[in-house]
Amino acid sequence: FLDDDQFENSFVFTVSFSEENRSLVPPFMGRSLLPATTEIGERVCQGGAMLYEEKCCINSLSWWFAKTKGTICPLRWVCPDHIEFAQLQPDRHVPRPGQTVLCRGYKIQLETRKSSIPGAGFGAWIMCSDPTPQKRTEFRLEAGELLDVGTYAPLQPADYKDEVVVLVKNFIFGWECETWSFGATSDTSSSRKGAASFNKVYDITSDSGKGKLHEFAKRNLLVYVNETDGKSTPHICAQTDPEGSIHYLLGHKYPADGALVFPVNKWYEVLIDYGSPYEDVRVRKGYSRLSGRMLKDREKKISENDLETLRDITNFSVDDVHTAICFIAKVEFDRSNFAEAIRTLIVSLCFYKRLMAVEQEFILFEPSGPNSFCDNGYTTIFANTLHLVKGQCGRLLDLECISADDLKKAIVESHASLFYVCQLVGSKGD
């Protein structure tokens, strides 16, 4: 519930906890630590799970451990005292988000500015100051102290997607979305093993256009944090909060890196290291950390991603196809994105081919027909999905920007055969 707070001119969120949730609190801690209702001000809510420790009084939820060179270092999630977000003067119509964090009496300003890395565009910069009478000369976070500077993702409900959607979306937009999408529930690398292993993915790109950042993401300073070269120590690390959101934390994880120290009243660019899972993106963008044989092998693997995706579709369940085709139905195509339209036609033909194979499998498995007691509503789901796939194939075949040569290319790449296309053309009125 939202109530207008007349005193602070902000919102107050009233949160209610069910008895089931309250029962999860360990008995020795007492249920009083998690009341049936509580009010949380906008100052706390803006940062997602900031002050989660303070509100729930369960300290263990905000501690993690890192191990390096045989040394154990407790990681403490440091909650800021206050955080405010702002939009600075745009640079050539490009949004320039900024934010101010208050912590331990320091004022920490973060802004988007031109990166110190050649060709990297904008970067995220930080300046610390001490407005207190102490006039301290440096801001310091000990190794293992990680200051929450905001939520990276999700930024809106639509950012939480089925992996099958992100897989298809990456194919359609030439893997541009890969830069801004990552596993939300588990390692998405397991997806290549078949439909049963598909998970959820965070994706902060637009569902139309060229797969670039959506408008909410463009106004989030944290997306402008650039990467290190893999050798220097990063200032930022990513951490999942108890609710599953990804936060960016300022600080050094490992004892070997020492404390993070910023002299006051000077601007510094802060950097992150996405690690080895991000290497495909680095290779595509031309700044890979690999070399020699390892780089050639990775380039070869990436060159086969399109074909591998089309092979993945042969493992899609009917539900997977339905989920993916519903996404495709929302994408608008014209001459400005005809290349994406062709790639969408390729995927749609693969969907149709997959549904035809599933239909044959079902007939062989259930020869008694759709009224069998084993059907369990399957034929209705199948029929609805098939109708959607036919409709989208028909829509794409009608686009003026798709020529006869484009159609031939789509048939070859989807291995759908001319027979399937003739079936679709003949059924466009269905």
Residue 188 predicted with pLDDT over 60 = no
Identify the weakest region by mean pLDDT among 14-18, 178-182, 199-203, 258-262: 14-18
Q: Count of alpha carbons within 13 Å of 245, Cβ hemisphere only?
A: 20
pLDDT in tens, 16-73: 878 877 777 666 555 556 778 877 765 555 544 444 544 343 333 334 445 444 455 6
Alpha-carbon dihedral 36, 38, 44, 49, rounded to 10 degrees = 0
Q: What percent of the chain has pLDDT over 70?
A: 73
Residue 422 predicted with pLDDT over 80 = no
- Which two three-digit tokens encode residue 327? 């996404």
pLDDT at 170: 94
pLDDT in tens, 218-248: 999 999 999 999 999 999 999 888 778 889 9
Residue 206 predicted with pLDDT over 90 = yes
Tokens 């979305």 locate to 177
Q: H/E/C letters for each residue in 312-381?
A: HHCCCCHHHHHHHHHHHCCCCCCHHHHHHHHHHHHHHHHHHHHHHHHHHHHHHHCCCCCCCCCCCCHHHH
Task: State the angle between helix axes of 292-303 and 305-313 in degrees (0 to 180), rounded to the nearest 10.
Answer: 40
Residue 177 predicted with pLDDT over 90 = yes
- Compute the distance between CA of residue 348 and CA of residue 427 in angstroms, rounded to an integer: 15
Q: Count of alpha carbons within 13 Å of 5, Cβ hemisphere only?
A: 14
pLDDT in tens, 127-159: 999 999 998 999 999 999 999 999 999 888 899
Q: What percent of the chain has pLDDT over 90?
A: 43
CA distance from start to end of the chain: 46
Identify the weakest region by mean pLDDT among 64-68, 118-122, 400-404: 64-68
Residue 185 predicted with pLDDT over 70 = no
Please give the average per-residue pLDDT across 291-318, as a whole number: 93
Residue 322 predicted with pLDDT over 80 = yes
Q: H/E/C letters for each residue in 219-271?
A: CCHHHHCEECCCCCCCCEEEEECCCCCEEEEECCCCHHHCCEEEECCCCEECE
Tokens 């679709």 locate to 424
pLDDT at 7: 36
pLDDT at 400: 72
Residue 367 binned pLDDT confidence (cut-offs 50, 70, 90): low
Residue 135, burial from CB neighbour count under 10 angstroms (0-12, 13-18, 19+): exposed
pLDDT at 165: 95
- Compute the distance between CA of residue 103 and CA of residue 131 in angstroms, rounded to an integer: 11
pLDDT at 255: 87
* Three-class secondary structure of residue 180 per DSSP: helix
pLDDT at 399: 81
Residue 294 binned pLDDT confidence (cut-offs 50, 70, 90): very high
